[in-house]
Chain A
Amino acid sequence: MNWLAIWAIYRHEMVRAFRTVLQSLVSPVITTSLYFVVFGGAIGSRIEQVEGVSYASFIVPGLIMLTVLTQSVTNAAFGIFFPKFIGSIYELLSAPVSFLEIVIGFVSAAATKSFLIGIVIFITAHAFVDIEVAHPILMVVILIVTCLVFSLFGFIVGIWARNFEQLQLVPLLIITPLVFLGGSFYSISMLPPVWQTVTLFNPVVYLVSTYRWTFFGYADVNLALSASMIVLFVALCLGVIWWMFRTGYRLRT
């Protein structure tokens, strides 16, 4: 392993992220506050409680997931798309680094950034509601895993994308709907039975459900099932990455 190279990529990506640190961190704070005003304040005043938790608190894990998922995918996708777009990728491809090292460098940097955003949202949420976390260590672990997995997914998107339209297509057309329909703002049990079944094909449901469990000790979906679905998704991403590595997909001509 060329650790110095991984560190160089990681650091380079973090410097790039910190050039726009204000936008990166201020915008999730504002968005989260807006969600609390709209969902927690306006809607929450009518729903009051979901599974014994106040609605405003109930949406916190989902809200963190919503932002962290979207941020991971867009950050990681842009991180690798940008050098491809301006051509500076030549350096990565001619350096004595393996594809795996490139992946680790970019994905861990994107994941770090979205993890920080997740933490900022968590802190912001405290300003609006009282939150007690039932399983704090697992809460952090799952957050980290989510950041890594969706950054990996974003990395794949960034390599696949040939232009800016394609780059925005996946987050817009796939990630956002999946996250909104993934039970961020409601419990699956609140849906009609048909939609409950449809929902089970949405990988985000398992993630949000598990994450909510670390907060409130209550899950929409069976934990073991969730865990296996998450593992399946990770395996899928790793498989795609491995295939990209074998074929030099859209990197080497």
Chain B
Amino acid sequence: MNEHDPILTVDRLNKTYDSGHTALSDVSLTIERGEILALLGPNGAGKTTLISTICGLVRPTSGRVSVGGYDIVDDYRKARSLIGLVPQEITLEPFEKVWDTVRFSRGLFGKRANDAHIERLLKALTLWDKRDAAVMELSGGMKRRVLIAKALAHEPRVLFLDEPTAGVDVELRKEMWAVVAQLRADGVTIILTTHYIEEAEAIADRVGIISGGKILLVEEKGALMKRLGQRQVRIHLAEPVERVPDVLSNHGLERAEDGRSLIYTTLEGGPPLAGLFADLAGAGIVVADVDTRRRSLEDIFVELVHNGNGDAA
């Protein structure tokens, strides 16, 4: 296994549940070592199914997955020992102590006890004071961090975080992002699902969009923003206009607010605005104010999911 080979390859994965529902159709995905991939998708898109299949909880109907070069079925021991999973739901035994449950996770993955490692983890996740507390005595955010500690107990190379920040307050979310950043610095590959687009924008290297069991798009975040990122320039007018003057027709302006403003749409890195303003002045239009809005990932996301295919790009 070459270190430049991808850490995870998903090849034409399909999953149809016993109920007859097809949750994944022909999903293919390649993830490089050390990157952070955010999977975005609406409820029921198949994010959890995808993660669960890779981690061994769900049996694929067809297709192959390999982690670190190991097939998840034929070589499940090697593949799984590379993986840490933080599930979407909080699933912890209520009476168990924090320390015990984290130590159990390490043992379960066949690693020798290493109290120093667990201590470091609990401290990093600000759970050290709670190490002797039973899980049921913890707050929701703490429980989620216990799940993360459990997933990291065996020092995985790939970490799956299924909606790690759902129901977590802003401050804690920032802390969680810091933890993710630290893991990335340590060379851990991270795949996370989220409904929060800001989250994907804030921490991911690449963004994948999944809807109806299909991957619509996977792209480097910056390139995605560039390729799809439009800017809207809203030009507020001193006097409303009845219609867009002909001299401005080549700029593709739109009238808005009953003619009290004009909207100019351009791509990131498009032509300079100087020409437009010169033409506006030439047409005798007095500009009162201007504001620009970058099209967010959210807009792109909504559009893609709406169109139901990747061609929207």
Are A and B subunits of one complex?
A: yes
Binding site for B on A (CB under 8 A): 2, 4-5, 7-9, 11-12, 15-16, 19, 82-83, 86-88, 90-97, 248, 252-253
Q: Please tell me if the beta carbons of A96 and B92 are within 8 angstroms of each other in the complex.
A: no
Q: Please tell me if the beta carbons of A8 and B104 are within 8 angstroms of each other in the complex.
A: yes
Q: Which residues of the partner chain B approach A5 to less than 8 Å between Cβ atoms?
A: 107-110
Q: Please tell me if the beta carbons of A253 and B17 are within 8 angstroms of each other in the complex.
A: yes
Within 8 Å by CB of A9, from B78, B85, B108, B112, lies B108
In angstroms, Cα B91 to Cα A187, docked, is 49
A-B contact pairs, 30 of them (CB 8 A): A2-B77, A4-B107, A7-B107, A8-B107, A12-B104, A15-B96, A15-B100, A16-B93, A16-B95, A82-B93, A83-B93, A86-B91, A86-B93, A87-B87, A90-B57, A90-B87, A91-B85, A91-B105, A94-B56, A94-B80, A95-B109, A96-B76, A96-B77, A96-B80, A96-B81, A96-B110, A97-B108, A252-B58, A252-B59, A253-B17
Q: Residue of A at shortest CB range from B86? A: A90
In angstroms, Cα B17 to Cα A88, docked, is 21
Tell me, rounded to whole Å, the shortest Cβ–Cβ distance linking B135 to chain A.
Answer: 10
Count B-side interface residues using an 8 Å CB cutoff.
Answer: 34
B55 beta carbon closer than 8 Å to chain A? yes
Within 8 Å by CB of B59, from A7, A97, A248, lies A248
Q: Please tell me if the beta carbons of A95 and B17 are within 8 angstroms of each other in the complex.
A: no
B251 beta carbon closer than 8 Å to chain A? no
Give the 8 A-B CB pairs with smallest separation, nearest first: A8-B107, A87-B91, A96-B77, A96-B80, A94-B55, A96-B81, A95-B108, A2-B110
Q: Residue of B at shortest CB range from A102? A: B108
Q: Which residues of the partner chain A approach B17 to less than 8 Å between Cβ atoms?
A: 253
Within 8 A of A (CB), among B29-55: 55
Instruction: Give 12 A-B pairs besides A94-B85, A96-B80, A252-B59 with Cβ atoms closer than 8 angstroms.
Output: A12-B104, A16-B93, A86-B92, A87-B87, A87-B89, A93-B55, A96-B77, A96-B78, A96-B79, A96-B110, A253-B57, A253-B58
Q: Residue of A at shortest CB range from B100? A: A15
Number of A-B contacts (CB under 8 A): 80
Q: Which residues of the partner chain B approach A2 to less than 8 Å between Cβ atoms?
A: 77, 110
Within 8 A of A (CB), among B52-83: 55-59, 76-81, 83
In angstroms, Cα B108 to Cα A91, docked, is 8
In angstroms, Cα B301 to Cα A33, docked, is 70
In angstroms, Cα B92 to Cα A143, docked, is 34
Centre residue among A12, A82, A248 by max chain B CB count within 10 A: A12
B174 beta carbon closer than 8 Å to chain A? no
Q: Please tell me if the beta carbons of A8 and B93 are within 8 angstroms of each other in the complex.
A: no
In angstroms, Cα B135 to Cα A19, docked, is 14
Tell me, rounded to whole Å, the shortest Cβ–Cβ distance linking B46 to chain A.
Answer: 13
Tell me, rounded to whole Å, the shortest Cβ–Cβ distance linking B130 to chain A.
Answer: 18
Q: Which residues of the partner chain A approach B80 to less than 8 Å between Cβ atoms?
A: 94-96
- How does the 8 Å CB contact mask read for B219-262 relative to A, with 1 for contact and 0 for none? 00000000000000000000000000000000000000000000
B18 beta carbon closer than 8 Å to chain A? yes
In angstroms, Cα B58 to Cα A57, docked, is 53
In angstroms, Cα B108 to Cα A11, docked, is 11
Q: Which residues of the partner chain B approach A97 to less than 8 Å between Cβ atoms?
A: 108, 110
Q: Which residues of the partner chain B approach A12 to less than 8 Å between Cβ atoms?
A: 100, 104, 107
Q: Please tell me if the beta carbons of B91 and A88 are within 8 angstroms of each other in the complex.
A: yes
B117 beta carbon closer than 8 Å to chain A? no
In angstroms, Cα B81 to Cα A2, docked, is 11
Q: Please tell me if the beta carbons of B112 and A4 are within 8 angstroms of each other in the complex.
A: yes
A252-B57 contact given A4-B110, A4-B111, A95-B108, CB 8 Å threshold: yes
B157 beta carbon closer than 8 Å to chain A? no
Q: Which residues of the partner chain A approach B87 to less than 8 Å between Cβ atoms?
A: 87, 90
In angstroms, Cα B58 to Cα A97, docked, is 15
Q: Which residues of the partner chain B approach A90 to less than 8 Å between Cβ atoms?
A: 57, 85, 87, 91
In angstroms, Cα B92 to Cα A91, docked, is 10
Tell me, rounded to whole Å, the shortest Cβ–Cβ distance linking A246 to chain B.
Answer: 12
Q: Residue of A at shortest CB range from B81? A: A96
In angstroms, Cα B92 to Cα A82, docked, is 11
In angstroms, Cα B106 to Cα A2, docked, is 12
Q: Please tell me if the beta carbons of B57 and A93 are within 8 angstroms of each other in the complex.
A: yes
Q: Residue of A at shortest CB range from B87? A: A90
Q: Please tell me if the beta carbons of B107 and A11 are within 8 angstroms of each other in the complex.
A: yes
In angstroms, Cα B111 to Cα A5, docked, is 8
